[in-house]
C-alpha cells in the first residue's frame, strides 16, 4: 500500500439535466419575461440528450424524476502505483475528463473517496492556470507557486523549462500573444519540469506540432522511468498509449469496463468505436452533438461525383454541416484521420474566422482528401471545433468511418494491396545510361 499514490474508491459524479443559467443576467431576465407571457424559453438548453444508459434517482426528494439526473461517472475504483503511467481511454462522453478534473481537485465527486500522495500538476486544457495578461516568465513563476514550489526551486529549473518549450525569444511577451503551439509548449514544460509527484495530462498535446509531441512523450516517459513520479495520460493517439503507458483503464458511459495491460484494452476500444457509417445526420437539434457555441447537423465521408464507392483513385470528400452561435469570435475546424489500428494518420483543419469576425449561422465545410493519398483500408474521423486555436468547443470521436477499396485500373501499375497507411502516386523516372 506504501507504493500506491492514487487510490480511487467507488467514486461517482452526478449532474442534473435540464434548465441551467444562460450565463448573463440580461438573458436570465429575458427568459423570465418570455415565460411570464406564456412563450417558449428562448434559451432552452438541454432535454434528455445524454448518452448515458443509467440515471440516478434523486436522493431524499420525491419532487425530482429519475430522468433529471445523469451519471458522468459511476462506481469507479482503481489504484495507481508510484512510477506507473496510466492511460485512460474511452469515447467522447465516457467520463475521462471528468475523472481527471476530480483527481486534479477542479471539481469534486458526488460519492466515493480519493487518496492522493504527493503534489499534483495537471494540464487539462491549453494554458490551464495561465493569466493571459502576464508574460511567459511571470506565468512560469505563478504556475510554480500554484504547484507549491518555492521560488528558488523555480529559479533552478527556469532555464531548462524555457529551453524545452522553445519560447525563449518570447518569454517576456504576454502569453495572450502566443500561438496555441507556444501556449501548450510552455504550459507542458512548466507542469513536467517542476517535479510534481503526480502529472496529469489530458489530450492537449494534440495542439502542438509533431516534433513537440514526440518531445512531450519522451519527457513523460523519462518522468515515469525515474521511478518516483506517476503519470495519468489521456490521448486520441492509441499508439502513444500503447508505447508510453504501463497500465490502462477503459471507461464507457461513465463506467469502468476494463483495466490492465494497454495493448488488449486499446484493441477492445478500437473494435468498439469503429463505425461503418459514412454519413451521420442529426435532424433534431435538441439531440445533436453540441452546446451553446457550436452544434453539428451532418457529417459525411463519401466519394466525389462520378465514383460509386470510395477507392484509391477517387479519394473521399468529407462534409461537415454545423451551426455556429458565437458572434465576433475565431472558429477553427480540425479533422483527425485515424487508421484502423488507432494511429493518427494526419490532421487537417480550416479557419472559419480568424479576425474575431465570426457571424452566427449555419456553415458547410468540405475537406476533399485527394486520390492516391491513403492506402486501401478502413479509417474513421475525429472532429474538433476550437476557438482561437486554443480552446476546444466541441469534440466528437469516430463521428463517421469510411473504407477505401483497392484499385486495379489495368494501366500497368502494381495495384495489389500493400502495407502502410499512405499510398502516393510516385512518378518515377528511368533513363538508360549505356
> What average pLDDT does the structure give for the chain?
80
Residue 39 has pLDDT above 70, yes or no: no
Cell for 10? 467507488
Q: Do residues 340 and 379 touch, judged by C-beta distance below 8 A?
A: yes
Residue-wise pLDDT for 113-137, tens only, equals: 999 988 887 777 655 667 888 999 9
Q: Which of 135-149, 346-360, 380-394, 408-422 has the lowest mean pLDDT?
A: 408-422
* Cα–Cα distance for residue pair 151/142, rounded to 1 Å: 10
- Summarised one tens digit per residue, pLDDT across range 145-175 is 877 778 888 898 899 889 988 888 889 999 8
Residues 403-432 have a mean pLDDT of 75
Q: Which of 52-56, 291-295, 379-383 has the lowest mean pLDDT?
A: 52-56
- First vs last C-alpha separation in the chain: 76
CATH 3.40.50.300 correct for 4-9+75-273 = yes
pLDDT score of 23: 58
Identify the band that residue 412 occupies on the pLDDT scale cut at 50, 70 and 90.
Answer: very low
Least confident of 220-229, 303-312, 321-330, 405-414: 405-414
Residue boundaries of the structural domains of the chain: 4-9+75-273, 279-404
Residue 340: how many other CB atoms lie within 10 Å: 15
Confidence at 40, pLDDT banded by 50, 70, 90: low
pLDDT confidence of residue 7: 93
Of 60, 84, 75, which is closest to residue 109 (Cα–Cα)?
75
Q: Assign domain 279-404 to its CATH superfamily.
A: abc- transporter (atp binding component) like domain (2.70.50.60)
Amino acid at each position: 500500500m506504501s507504493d500506491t499514490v492514487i487510490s480511487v474508491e467507488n467514486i461517482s459524479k452526478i449532474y442534473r439535466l435540464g434548465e441551467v443559467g444562460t450565463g448573463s443576467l440580461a438573458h436570465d431576465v429575458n427568459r423570465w419575461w418570455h415565460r411570464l407571457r406564456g412563450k417558449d424559453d428562448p434559451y432552452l438548453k438541454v432535454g434528455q440528450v445524454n448518452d448515458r444508459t443509467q440515471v440516478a434517482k434523486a436522493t431524499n426528494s420525491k419532487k425530482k424524476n429519475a430522468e433529471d439526473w445523469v451519471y458522468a461517472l459511476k462506481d469507479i475504483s482503481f489504484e495507481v502505483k508510484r512510477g506507473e503511467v496510466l492511460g485512460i481511454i474511452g469515447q467522447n462522453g465516457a467520463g475521462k475528463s471528468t475523472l481527471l478534473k476530480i483527481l486534479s481537485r477542479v471539481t469534486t465527486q458526488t460519492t466515493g473517496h480519493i487518496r492522493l500522495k504527493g503534489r499534483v500538476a495537471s494540464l487539462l486544457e491549453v494554458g490551464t492556470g495561465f493569466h493571459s495578461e502576464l508574460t511567459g516568465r511571470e506565468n512560469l513563476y505563478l504556475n510554480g507557486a500554484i504547484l507549491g514550489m518555492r521560488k528558488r526551486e523555480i529559479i533552478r529549473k527556469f532555464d531548462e523549462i524555457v529551453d524545452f518549450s522553445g519560447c525563449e525569444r518570447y518569454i517576456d511577451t504576454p502569453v495572450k500573444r502566443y500561438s496555441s503551439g507556444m501556449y501548450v509548449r510552455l504550459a507542458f514544460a512548466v507542469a513536467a519540469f517542476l517535479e510534481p509527484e503526480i502529472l496529469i495530462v489530458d489530450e492537449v498535446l494534440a495542439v502542438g506540432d509533431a516534433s513537440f509531441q514526440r518531445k512531450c512523450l519522451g519527457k513523460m516517459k523519462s518522468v515515469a522511468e525515474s521511478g518516483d513520479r506517476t503519470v495519468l495520460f489521456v490521448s486520441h493517439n492509441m499508439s502513444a498509449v500503447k508505447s508510453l503507458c504501463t497500465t490502462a483503464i477503459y471507461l464507457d458511459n461513465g463506467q469502468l469496463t476494463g483495466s490492465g495491460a494497454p495493448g488488449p484494452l486499446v484493441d477492445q476500444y478500437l473494435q468498439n468505436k469503429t463505425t461503418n457509417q459514412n454519413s451521420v445526420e442529426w435532424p433534431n437539434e435538441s439531440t445533436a452533438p453540441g452546446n451553446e457555441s457550436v452544434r453539428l447537423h451532418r457529417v459525411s465521408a463519401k466519394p466525389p461525383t462520378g465514383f460509386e464507392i470510395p477507392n484509391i483513385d477517387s479519394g473521399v470528400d468529407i462534409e461537415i454541416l454545423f451551426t455556429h452561435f458565437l458572434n465576433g469570435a475565431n472558429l477553427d475546424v480540425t479533422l483527425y484521420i485515424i487508421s484502423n489500428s488507432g494511429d493518427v494518420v494526419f490532421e487537417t483543419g480550416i479557419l472559419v474566422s480568424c479576425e474575431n469576425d465570426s457571424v452566427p449561422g449555419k456553415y458547410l465545410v468540405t475537406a476533399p482528401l485527394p486520390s492516391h493519398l491513403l492506402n486501401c483500408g478502413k479509417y474513421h474521423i475525429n472532429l474538433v471545433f476550437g476557438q482561437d486555436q486554443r480552446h476546444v468547443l466541441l469534440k466528437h470521436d469516430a463521428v463517421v468511418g469510411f473504407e477505401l477499396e483497392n484499385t486495379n485500373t489495368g494501366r500497368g501499375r502494381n495495384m495489389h494491396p500493400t502495407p502502410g497507411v499512405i499510398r502516393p502516386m510516385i512518378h518515377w523516372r528511368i533513363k538508360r545510361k549505356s
